[in-house]
A and B are shown apart, each in its own frame.
Chain A
Amino acid sequence: MRNIPISALIGLFFTGLYFLGAIFAQLIAPYGVAEVVGDVWEPSSAKFWLGTDNIGRDLLSRMIFGGQTTIFIAASATLLSFTTGSILGFTAAVTGGWVDQALSRFIDLIISLPTLIFALVVLSVMPVTVFVLIVLMGLLDSTRVFRLARAVAVDINVMDYVEAARLRGEKTAWIIFREILPNALSPLVAEMGLRFIFMVLFVSTLSFLGLGIQPPAADWGGIVKENKDGIVYGIPAALVPAIAIATLAISVNLVADWILNRTTSLKGGRGG
Chain B
Amino acid sequence: MADILLDVTGLKIEATAYPPGEPPQDITIVEDVSFQVEKGKVLGLIGESGAGKSTIGLSAMAYGRGGVRITGGVININGRDIRVEGTGGLRKLRGAEVTYVAQSAAAAFNPAKRLMEQIVEATLAHGRHSRKEAESRAVELFGKLGLPEPETFGSRFPHQVSGGQLQRAMTALALCPEPDLVVFDEPTTALDVTTQIDVLAAIKEAIRDTGVAALYITHDLAVVAQVSDHIMVLRHGKMVEYGDTDQIINRPAMDYTQALVSVRSTDHEEKTPSPQPILTVEGVTARYKNAPADVLRNVNVEIHPGQTLAVVGESGSGKSTLARVITGLLPPSAGKTVFDGRTLPPSLPERTKEELRELQMIYQMADVAMNPRQTIRTIIGRPLEFYFGLRGAEKTRRIQELLDEIELGDGYIDRYPAELSGGQKQRVCIARALAAKPKLIICDEVTSALDPLVADGILKLLLDLQKREDVAYLFITHDLATVKAIADSIAVMFQGEVVRYGPKSQVLSPPFDDYTDLLLSSVPEMRLGWLEDVIENRKMESAGN
A residues bordering B, Cβ < 8 Å? 2-3, 159-161, 163-164, 166-170, 178-179, 182-183, 265-269, 272
Q: Which B residues lie within 8 Å of A3 (CB)?
A: 21
Q: Do A268 and B373 have beta carbons less than 8 Å apart? A: yes
Q: Do A2 and B21 have beta carbons less than 8 Å apart? A: yes
B residues bordering A, Cβ < 8 Å? 18, 20-21, 327-329, 348, 351, 353, 356-357, 360-361, 363, 365, 368-374, 382-383, 386, 416-419, 432, 436
Q: Do B348 and A167 have beta carbons less than 8 Å apart? A: yes
Q: Do B382 and A168 have beta carbons less than 8 Å apart? A: yes
Q: Do B356 and A161 have beta carbons less than 8 Å apart? A: no
Q: Which A residues lie within 8 Å of B386 (CB)?
A: 168-170
Q: Do B369 and A267 have beta carbons less than 8 Å apart? A: no
Instruction: Please name the residue on chain B nearest to A185 by beta carbon.
Output: B373
The docked-state distance in angstroms from the alpha carbon of A168 to that of B359 is 9
Q: Which B residues lie within 8 Å of A2 (CB)?
A: 21
Known: A167-B356, A168-B436; 20 extra A-B contacts, CB below 8 A, are: A3-B21, A160-B369, A161-B368, A161-B369, A161-B371, A163-B329, A164-B361, A166-B348, A167-B327, A167-B329, A168-B356, A182-B373, A182-B374, A183-B371, A265-B18, A265-B20, A266-B20, A267-B20, A267-B416, A268-B372
Instruction: Please name the residue on chain A nearest to B417 by beta carbon.
Output: A268
3 residue pairs, one from A and one from B, having the closest CB atoms: A268-B372, A182-B373, A160-B369
5 contacts between A and B (CB under 8 A): A164-B363, A169-B353, A170-B386, A267-B20, A268-B372
The docked-state distance in angstroms from the alpha carbon of A163 to that of B365 is 13
- A178: min CB distance to chain B, Å: 8
Q: Which A residues lie within 8 Å of B432 (CB)?
A: 164
**Given known A161-B369, A170-B386, contact A267–B419 (CB-CB < 8 A):** yes
- A158: min CB distance to chain B, Å: 9
- A77: min CB distance to chain B, Å: 28
Q: Do B416 and A268 have beta carbons less than 8 Å apart? A: yes
Instruction: Please name the residue on chain A nearest to B351 by beta carbon.
Output: A169
Q: Which A residues lie within 8 Å of B327 (CB)?
A: 167
The docked-state distance in angstroms from the alpha carbon of A164 to that of B442 is 12
The docked-state distance in angstroms from the alpha carbon of A163 to that of B327 is 11
The docked-state distance in angstroms from the alpha carbon of A2 to that of B361 is 41
Q: Which A residues lie within 8 Å of B416 (CB)?
A: 267-268
Q: Do A183 and B373 have beta carbons less than 8 Å apart? A: yes
Q: Do A268 and B356 have beta carbons less than 8 Å apart? A: no
- A161: min CB distance to chain B, Å: 5
The docked-state distance in angstroms from the alpha carbon of A168 to that of B382 is 9
- B379: min CB distance to chain A, Å: 8
Q: Which A residues lie within 8 Å of B21 (CB)?
A: 2-3
Q: Do A183 and B372 have beta carbons less than 8 Å apart? A: yes
The docked-state distance in angstroms from the alpha carbon of A267 to that of B21 is 10
**Given known A265-B20, A267-B418, contact A182–B371 (CB-CB < 8 A):** yes
A-B contact count (CB 8 A): 61
- B108: min CB distance to chain A, Å: 22
Q: Which B residues lie within 8 Å of A166 (CB)?
A: 329, 348
Q: Which A residues lie within 8 Å of B417 (CB)?
A: 268
**Given known A164-B363, A169-B356, contact A179–B371 (CB-CB < 8 A):** yes
- B222: min CB distance to chain A, Å: 29
The docked-state distance in angstroms from the alpha carbon of A269 to that of B18 is 14
The docked-state distance in angstroms from the alpha carbon of A167 to that of B374 is 18
Instruction: Please name the residue on chain A nearest to B324 by beta carbon.
Output: A163
- A258: min CB distance to chain B, Å: 13
The docked-state distance in angstroms from the alpha carbon of A183 to that of B373 is 7
Instruction: Please name the residue on chain A nearest to B418 by beta carbon.
Output: A268
The docked-state distance in angstroms from the alpha carbon of A164 to that of B365 is 12
- A25: min CB distance to chain B, Å: 37
Q: Do B368 and A160 have beta carbons less than 8 Å apart? A: yes
- A146: min CB distance to chain B, Å: 22
Q: Do A159 and B368 have beta carbons less than 8 Å apart? A: yes
The docked-state distance in angstroms from the alpha carbon of A140 to that of B386 is 39
Q: Which B residues lie within 8 Å of A179 (CB)?
A: 371
Instruction: Please name the residue on chain B nearest to A159 by beta carbon.
Output: B368
Instruction: Please name the residue on chain B nearest to A184 by beta carbon.
Output: B373
- B412: min CB distance to chain A, Å: 14
**Given known A169-B386, A267-B418, contact A164–B20 (CB-CB < 8 A):** no
Q: Do A160 and B20 have beta carbons less than 8 Å apart? A: no
Instruction: Please name the residue on chain B nearest to A272 by beta carbon.
Output: B20
- B350: min CB distance to chain A, Å: 11
Q: Which A residues lie within 8 Å of B329 (CB)?
A: 163, 166-167
Instruction: Please name the residue on chain A nearest to B352 by beta carbon.
Output: A169
Contact with B370, one of A161, A182, A265, A266 (Cβ below 8 angstroms) = A161
Q: Which A residues lie within 8 Å of B353 (CB)?
A: 169
Q: Which B residues lie within 8 Å of A269 (CB)?
A: 20, 372, 418
Q: Do A167 and B419 have beta carbons less than 8 Å apart? A: no
Instruction: Please name the residue on chain B nearest to A264 by beta carbon.
Output: B20
Instruction: Please name the residue on chain A nearest to B360 by beta carbon.
Output: A167
Instruction: Please name the residue on chain A nearest to B355 by beta carbon.
Output: A169
Q: Which B residues lie within 8 Å of A183 (CB)?
A: 371-373
Q: Which A residues lie within 8 Å of B328 (CB)?
A: 167
Q: Which B residues lie within 8 Å of A160 (CB)?
A: 363, 365, 368-369
Q: Which A residues lie within 8 Å of B369 (CB)?
A: 160-161, 164
Instruction: Please name the residue on chain B nearest to A169 by beta carbon.
Output: B356
- A165: min CB distance to chain B, Å: 8
Instruction: Please name the residue on chain A nearest to B20 by beta carbon.
Output: A265
The docked-state distance in angstroms from the alpha carbon of A265 to that of B21 is 9
Instruction: Please name the residue on chain B nearest to A182 by beta carbon.
Output: B373
Q: Which A residues lie within 8 Å of B372 (CB)?
A: 183, 268-269
Instruction: Please name the residue on chain B nearest to A2 by beta carbon.
Output: B21
